[in-house]
Amino acid sequence: MEDNLITIQVEDQDGEQRSIEIPTDMNLSLMEALKASDYDIMATCGGMALCATCHVQILSDHALPEPENAELDMLDTLHNAELDSRLSCQIRVARELDGLSLRIIGAD
């Protein structure tokens, strides 16, 4: 079972940091994993890249899948988006994310 778990470091909106374990065999998005870990993510659109309430900043140097056009378009509408901003609903939990570090930005 341990082979199916990854650990990521999460910093919430208050600056509090903690590590969470996420299973890689459930086809979860990062947003779903964060919500399941009791983080305050609205996910108003249900993961369709339409609302940006799951906005995160990637702090570690991980090779993530390139964002699709819908995600890029939504990030373009945010005044606080950075080059390392992503929508957590658009990132699938996978073994390659082990050790990932992120900051939850959410809706602003």
Range of the domain at 31: 2-104
Under 8 Å between Cβ of 104 and 56? yes
Number of domains in the chain: 1
> What φ, ψ does residue 39 adopt, rounded to 5°?
-85, 145
Distances (CA, A) of 21 to 36, 48, 94, 95, 104: 11, 24, 12, 12, 16
Q: For residue 73, what pLDDT is reported?
A: 96
Q: Maximum Cα–Cα distance for the chain, whole Å?
A: 41
State the residue for tokens 């993510």.
Answer: 41
9, with CB counted inside 10 A (0-12, 13-18, 19+), is: middle
The overall average pLDDT reported for the chain is: 94
Q: For residue 107, what pLDDT is reported?
A: 78
pTM for this prediction: 0.93
pLDDT tens sequence across 27-40: 999 999 999 999 99
CATH number, residue 69: 3.10.20.30
Q: For residue 2, what pLDDT is reported?
A: 62
Tally Cβ neighbours within 10 Å of residue 106: 19
Residues of the chain short of pLDDT 70, as ranges, are 1-2, 108
pLDDT tens sequence across 79-95: 999 999 999 999 999 99
Separation between Cα atoms, residue 101 and residue 77, nearest integer Å: 24
Q: For residue 7, what pLDDT is reported?
A: 98
